[in-house]
Chains A and B, each alone.
Chain A
Amino acid sequence: MTKSRKQSSRRRGKTRQPPTPELKETAPAAPDAPESQSTRRSFLGRLWLGLTGVAVLEMVWIAVDFLRPRTSSATSSSHILVAGPIDRFEPNSVTAFQEGKLYLSRLQDGGFLALSRECTHLGCTVPWVDGESRFVCPCHSSAYDDKGVVLNPPAPRPLDFYPVRIENGIVKVDVSKPIKRRSFEYAQVTRP
């Protein structure tokens, strides 16, 4: 609050003057100030509103982050499943691995393909039916061959696969993340 002119003039020994209209406290500006003009009050009001909005956004951000899936370090880094020596797997055979949630398929020509056991339709676990030499999903009867290629809809795409490496005659599968594919390509098969 500024000192009234009356007081300061008394201190300095100047003649007393009545306070001029400009120094008088103006009434709340809201009804009188023209709409186009931004007063200090309206600016501060808008600032509060803006900060409240920022606070709300921050809370939403925190909530979203709490809901965000967290991948544990075990799955994000490379996780290798040791399947076994090459000779353990006959050509034209499919071996199930519970641990890696996959099937190791050895094709007719001896190449290896590690297929995910999750049906690409809605996610059911697909069993290998030996008698029919194909995968048949129990949920909606999608069928795949030993390369994971779709034989029967409603599956929209072939089974996902995992990269296979052969080191010193041992078959190893990298099960960190399944690879999606639109169709079968021979580059996906690992030859011993």
Chain B
Amino acid sequence: MTQTADKGDNSNRGGLAIRIWRSLVRGPINPQNDRERKWIVIHNLILHFRPVRLPLRTIKYTHTWGLGGMSLVLFLVLATTGVLLMFAYEPSTQGAYDSIRGMQQQVLFGKLVRNIHHWSANFLIVVVFLHLLRVFFTGGYLGKRQFNWIIGLALLLCVLISNFTGYLLPWDQLSYWAITISTGMIRYVPLIGEWLQQVVRDGPEIGQATLINFYTFHTTVVPILLIALMAWHFWRVRKARGVVMPRLPAEHSGDVQDEKVEYVLTFPNLLFREFVVALCLVAFIMVFSLFFNAPLGDAANPGMSPNPAKAPWYFVGIQELLLHFHPLLAVVMIPFVAALTLLLIPYIKYTDDTEGIWFRSANGRRTSIIATVTALVLTPLWILLDEFMVDPVTWLPGVAPVISSGVLPAALACLALFGFYQALQRIHSASKDEAVQASFVLLTVVFLILTATGVWFRGAGMALVWPW
């Protein structure tokens, strides 16, 4: 049979083994020169979403710290260990706890796999949060990258939901009551609180229906969403021509875009670096999981609440807020306003061109430090004052608690923030970019301190304790 002239078509030549191999592997797999390396990046299924060349400046490790890539690696580790766990776990209120106990004792490396899953999940929250901070401080949400920030926030939400739904699955005292409290907070949403709580719990109380719903979200819905959102997120990075171009404060963006940019091949320069970071991360998690166990307390007992009963650590910041503000503020308004602010960050009309510059400028660095110190000093002070001295409900008996312990302190806090913003602009001659950045730093540090307080400094009866 005459073949059409297909240059280099060896499909009919050679022995069987070589023909099968060539039908599977279309090109070089051990590249010997740059031409072959370029070929692989273009033609490989996984690598082809990468550019062939990229700016040398953006490869520097301390530019991004590899946090985005680490998030992807952690997700893959979680997916793999998660599937393994699914073979051993029984999603029923009667069998869940015992299935995990059994898995830890009888399944080969069951305990290790569970530990890896648990710690990867917790590291993921930290890594994703650090990634958000990095993108914020390098201005990687400006210009073409505005909407990618939004996609990133959606990814963050999915990660939190995944952690939360996974937390319930062991069905031990820790899980059961953490979820009781967290869903108990939902009841304070006005008008729809009761209904919303029933929907989340899939019934009037936490039981089999809740477990199945959480399990489905955790193993199917959220992973699918994560994969779809990640694909979109990476796509948008490509369309913005890579990560944000690093610049020094004195450089103008025009200079950088022109001749100064040196391009290098993705393979090997970027790929090898990513591979090393991934390997180090996986090694770290494995070693960590060898030494520290995922918690498994007593089996859940709806008749007895442990003292103290805390929400998962990434939610104790909100639980701490609940101890200082009326639930309407702590559970609804403040998180809502915080979410709205995060969503609007890329769309503020900034005055300077700060894309790619860490902390915007030297003044930006300074004002951020000022904000950090302010928060570090004022937050513990406020927590102590509110715990031991200030009692608005008793001082203002005629006023409804939602005002005296809710709206009023919140208004004072807003006023303080506004004052801080103005002080930065007037006293420290901060530009709009720098003032917004410093405010962000202030609020983030406040929230981190609240979280730390909730994790370490709250003991029995949620009283303030010294942890050592």
Q: B126-179: which have CB < 8 Å to A?
A: 177
Contact A140 B303 (CB under 8 A): no
A141: CB under 8 A from chain B?
A: yes
Please measure, in the bound complex, the distance between the C-alpha atom of A67 and the C-alpha atom of B201, giving whole angstroms: 10
Q: A139 with B185: in contact, given A71-B204, A98-B303, A125-B302 (CB under 8 Å)?
A: no
Interface hit among B245-253, B304-312, B378-386: B304-312
A19 to B34, alpha carbons, bound, how many Å? 69
The answer to the question of A192 belonging to the interface, with a C-beta cut-off of 8 Å to chain B, is no
Cβ 8 A contact of B199, one of A67, A71, A121, A123 = A67
| Known A-B contacts A138-B308, A141-B462; A123 and B303 likewise in contact (beta carbons under 8 Å) | no
Verify if B209 is at the interface (C-beta below 8 Å from A).
yes
The answer to whether B203 and A125 have CB atoms under 8 Å apart is no
Are B185 and A122 in touch, CB under 8 angstroms?
Answer: yes
In the assembled complex, which residues on chain A have CB atoms less than 8 Å from the CB atom of B204?
69, 71, 75
**Interface of chain A residues 134 through 184 with chain B (CB within 8 A):** 137-141, 153-154, 156
Residues of chain B within 8 A of A101, CB atoms compared? 302-303
Known: A139-B305, A139-B307. A71 touches B180 (CB 8 A): no
Inter-subunit contact A122/B203 (CB<8 Å): no
B304 touches A125 (CB 8 A): yes
With known contacts A140-B462, A141-B461, A156-B327, A69–B203 Cβ distance under 8 A: yes
Residues B303 and A139 in contact, CB atoms below 8 Å apart: no
Contact status B309-A69, CB under 8 Å: no
Residues on B with C-beta less than 8 A from A75 are 204
Known: A138-B305, A138-B308. A124 touches B461 (CB 8 A): no
A69 touches B202 (CB 8 A): yes
How far is A181 from B213 in the complex, measured between Cα atoms in Å?
A: 31
Chain B residues with CB below 8 A from A121, complex form: 184
- Looking at B185, B203, B307, which has the most chain A CB atoms within 10 Å of its CB? B307
Chain A CB within 10 Å — which of B305, B309, B327 has the most?
B305
For residue B198, CB closer than 8 A to chain A, the reply is yes
Complex Cα spacing A140 to B322, Å: 10
The 8 A CB mask of B199-213 against A (1 = contact, 0 = none) is 101111000010001
The answer to whether B393 touches A138, judged by C-beta atoms less than 8 angstroms apart, is no
Which listed residue (B181, B198, B460, B463) contacts A122, Cβ 8 A? B181
Q: Nearest CB to that of A125 among chain B residues?
A: B305
Q: B323 interface residue, CB < 8 Å from A?
A: yes
Contact with B along A87-114 (1 / 0, CB 8 A): 0000000000010010000000000000
- B309 → A minimal CB distance (Å): 5
Contact A138 B309 (CB under 8 A): yes
B461 and A138 contacting across the interface, CB-CB below 8 Å: yes
| Cβ–Cβ < 8 Å partners of A67 in chain B | 199, 202, 213
| Cβ of A11 under 8 Å from chain B | no
- Nearest CB of chain A from residue B351's CB, rounded to whole Å: 41
Minimum CB–CB distance for B392 against chain A, Å: 12
**A27-B428 Cα distance, complex, nearest whole Å:** 69
The answer for the CA separation of A81 and B329 in the assembled complex, in Å, is 39
Q: Are A123 and B181 in contact (CB under 8 A)?
A: yes
Task: Flag whether A3 is at the interface (Cβ < 8 A).
Answer: no
Interface string of A7-51 (1 = CB under 8 A from B): 000000000000000000000000000000000000000000000
CA distance A55 to B114 in the complex (A): 42
Q: Which residue of A lies closest to B202 (CB)?
A: A69
Give 6 new A-B contacts, CB below 8 A, not counting A124-B181, A125-B302, A125-B305.
A67-B202, A69-B203, A71-B204, A123-B183, A138-B305, A141-B462
Top-10 shortest CB links A-B: A138-B307, A122-B184, A124-B305, A123-B184, A141-B461, A69-B203, A139-B309, A125-B305, A122-B181, A123-B180
Residues of A within 8 A of B (CB): 67-71, 75, 98, 101, 117, 119, 121-127, 137-141, 153-154, 156
A-B contact pairs, 7 of them (CB 8 A): A70-B209, A117-B303, A125-B305, A127-B304, A139-B181, A141-B463, A156-B327
